[in-house]
Amino acid sequence: MNRKYFGTDGIRGRVGEHPITPDFVLKLGWAAGKVFAKQGKKRILIGKDTRLSGYMFESALEAGLSAAGVDVYLLGPMPTPGIAYLTQTFHADAGIVISASHNSFEDNGIKFFSRSGEKLPDEVELEIESWLDKPMETVAPALLGKARRINDAAGRYIEFCKNTLPFNASLQGMSLVVDCAHGATYHIAPEVFNELGATVDVIGAKPDGLNINKGYGSTNPRALQDRVLEVGADLGIGFDGDGDRLVMVTHTGRLLDGDDLLYILAKNLQSKGQLQGGIVGTEMSNLGLELALKEANIPFVRAKVGDRYVMAELQKNNWLVGGENSGHLVCRHVQSTGDGIVAALQVLQAIQEADGQIEALLQGMKKMPQSLVNIRT
């Protein structure tokens, strides 16, 4: 059965145009609430990025879920992977993300995480869609869901990110430029790196609701490259608007995409005997990555484009690491979904273990010519 609204990464579109409208999102919250309440599940988390429209859709989802009898926990601005993590630690039944990732503020979207912090199975999304076709009914007044705001959500996620590194790990002596794309990582990523001891110069961390991904972030890396060279930093780290993808910039201004970072992670884990199988890329992964991994005797398979397909292939093979050249990196040994901050920490650890010589870590990979053309349909 084909899905009517859900794509590979939830429901997304232009704000004010169907289905990204307040009335539809209200109904979507109710439909999701009916599905989870039917299973005896009554607690759902909601987080968002920094888009102005996020406030409107947060309220709509809250109302719809409450009408279905579901309790709502509001996280406020929070990276997508942070919502996945907190869904697990709160023992919630689902997490909802309000974000359009790397798109501009005119767009927004809704996606769901299961109680295990992973994308919802297709059959659950289909069931939610089936409820969208039914008349909306509110539970009895005494059974309405309650809402509460989680004021320490950011601190909880910051501690989780830090704890993905070995105990007593430190970034002291490392100078970083961190670009938050005026998005959901603006109040979290700098704190993570600061608390681990790095010297941090922050750009793209003044969200106003309209500037997410504008001129900054992983899809606009020029500002990061320029800043790294300007201040003489060891490394630059750029996130997208919802914090589930990243790029890096070396001290020479060289841009490292998801393929480069996957290779660094693969070689590092292999050197420590911790790789556990191979690497999952996508149809878009550079041929140079595949050839370099083959030379290193590391198995490599390609999934369809989309982090949910990367995750499915990792689970199928019981492997740990995969990702896309866009910078979505999945490190299953430390996080249940793609996480820009956590992946950055894994790469920084690999660099430290190579005595800070990031260029040396990439000597075995030679990128092949590749061109990407976007076509609006």
Beta strands 11-14; 107-114: pairing state = antiparallel
- Judging by beta carbons within 10 Å of its beta carbon (0-12, 13-18, 19+), is residue 138 exposed, middle or buried? middle
Sign of CA dihedral 89, 8, 190, 279: positive
Q: Nearest 5°: phi and psi at 153?
A: -60, -45
Q: In this structure, what token pair is assigned to residue 273?
A: 């005997």
Q: What is the DSSP letter of 304?
A: P
CB-based contacts of 359-362 (< 8 A; 24+ apart in sequence): 359/250, 359/252, 359/254, 361/263, 361/264, 361/267, 361/268, 362/256, 362/260, 362/263, 362/264
CA distance 342 to 114: 20
| DSSP 3-state of 44 | strand
Active site residues: 101
| DSSP 3-state of 18 | coil
Q: What is the DSSP letter of 328?
A: B
Nearest Cα neighbor of 78 from 228, 180, 217, 215 is 180
Sign of CA dihedral 40, 43, 48, 53: positive
